Structure 1
Amino acid sequence: MRARPLRSPRWAAAAACFAAVSAGCLAGCDVGGAAREPTDVSRPTLGAPGTTVRVLQMNLCNSGRAGCYSHGRAITLAAALVHEHQPEMVSLNEVCRSDLRPLEQALSAGFPKAAVATAFAPAKDRQTQAPVRCQNGQEFGDGVLLVVARPEGGARTDSGLYPAQDLQDTEERVWVCIHLAAGLSACTTHTSSTDAAVALNQCRYLLDSVVPMISRRGGVGPIIIGADLNLAARGSPSPQSCVPSGYQRTDDGGLQDVMVGPDLRVRGHWVLDMHGTTDHPGLLVDVDLRPPSVG
């Protein structure tokens, strides 16, 4: 599916929204010209048949060490986008552990009667085997957040280190997932940025080994993966090369993808302008909790 960009939000409105988020006031905040409701679907209830889950995938470049770092502005804009588009799942790459908190608060504001499950996995430093750290001392890695419509059902998390790593990269890559008792799983990963062959190997390992492994543990149903695969959408190798039969994939036209299992289908997607706060756009995807039609 080819990306269809939303109209670019007006920066003045977005700046006002940043101020509101920073002040802890989310109500009424609008990041500008982007449509408030990208599709005509009703708001879903997770786990109910025939409904839709909205996914927001973002690489926020917030380590403080990379050239794309914007001194925390990416986190503020991400929280504004969560409020604006009200996703049920948010997948994050290149964030500090503490960055999940403001996004959890933004999700809670949009779904006050639900709970929010969060999971974070730090990348590993090859030399020390300790977590990679952001400039502020926080652990650096990947996170995923998921709205839990029935808090009493609970959620569990899984994470792991890929067996294949680029030996020239000091950062060892990881994956992380949340599994709801209702049967939905949400995962994210940030595969190798220095070797496309390794990135492809990691993507295949996630889909061919990790997903079946967690499925065998029981209680795991439909799966959604938001990721920065570091595989160019129109490049070679293509991210499609690691997608198993029956899965669907959509992308931002660059390096980010959302992939869904055989019992789900992509309904639509949009590319969101991050206004230079990071070197990636946001990828907003609606996923139907029902299989594609046959025939």
Structure 2
Amino acid sequence: MKEFGYHRASDVAGAVAVLGTDPDARFLAGGTNLVDLMKAGVERPARLVDVRNLPLDRIEPTWDGGLRIGATVTNSDLASHPEVRGRYPALAQAVLAGASGQLRNMATVGGNLLQRTRCGYFTDVTRPCNKRVPGSGCPAVEGEHHNHAILGATDHCVALHPSDMAVALTAFDAVVHYETADGPGESPIGAFYLPVGDTPHRETALPPGALITAVTLPPAPVAARSRYRKVRERASYAFAIGAVAAALDVRDGVVQDVRLALGAVASRPWRARAAETVLAGAPADAETFAAAAAAELAAARPLPHNGHKVPLMHHLVVATLTELAEEAVR
């Protein structure tokens, strides 16, 4: 591992100022992803700016009835918070599905949003990778890609975004707040993660040197009836091969409101807008759910060895919506 300096920030402005003068510095909170990448030689920061003790560790209601979640809130505290469990249960379920208890105790909300792909070519510095070295190529297209993207990918990159939490936040229209040297800013999570295009190394719209300070969830009554479902290759802690965050409001057998986002299908959390359009105002039945899944997955472009993800995601969407619809009539 490359030698690096260490600075413990005492306030947000001071933390941002350090990165303003040292572009090779990185913010450190839980370190559950960054430190692994440093060990692999993928990340080689000149200095780590420790932000763990900044006053960004609270979960509190917003004036409009939503929730504000500080960037240094641990995943464990997020998943166990009564307001999250009661009003946004899919978010709590996603966090619990995302890692072991030991990791959840260290990992933070801000760090989770910025975690990087687990593609084996990205983490192997002896191999080319457009995310790591722009223009070097994407060997996964012709190589190992059984758990890579089926939506939104290009020949420049077919890697997946690994976060479970971000999928649920995407379903609930979260807003990411950050601080820069020029002042505060914010980004809807749907615009926060960038499409792959021909620049897969540019993963988010976060300005250079910016520090994520919080995530806000707008009020969403439909979110109280929500679920996160994750499919993985083993029952213990593992990254998803498919995931769904869904919320469904059904009255008199008709879908009144719906939120749907997919995980482990693209380089970013995938908001299922086509499926939501099919579902809105339609009968809450198996035929509608299957049509919604088919509409969203019509854009899928699987590679030779990950075509299994298309029927997997179809069945996962239908099963999750069916469970929520059945609960609505109990």
TM-score tier (shorter):
under 0.3
Q: Using CA pairs under 8 Å that are at least 6 residues apart, name the structure with larger relative contact order, 1 or 2.
A: 1
Instruction: Identify the structure with the greater helix proportion.
Output: 2
Instruction: Identify the structure with the greater strand proportion.
Output: 1
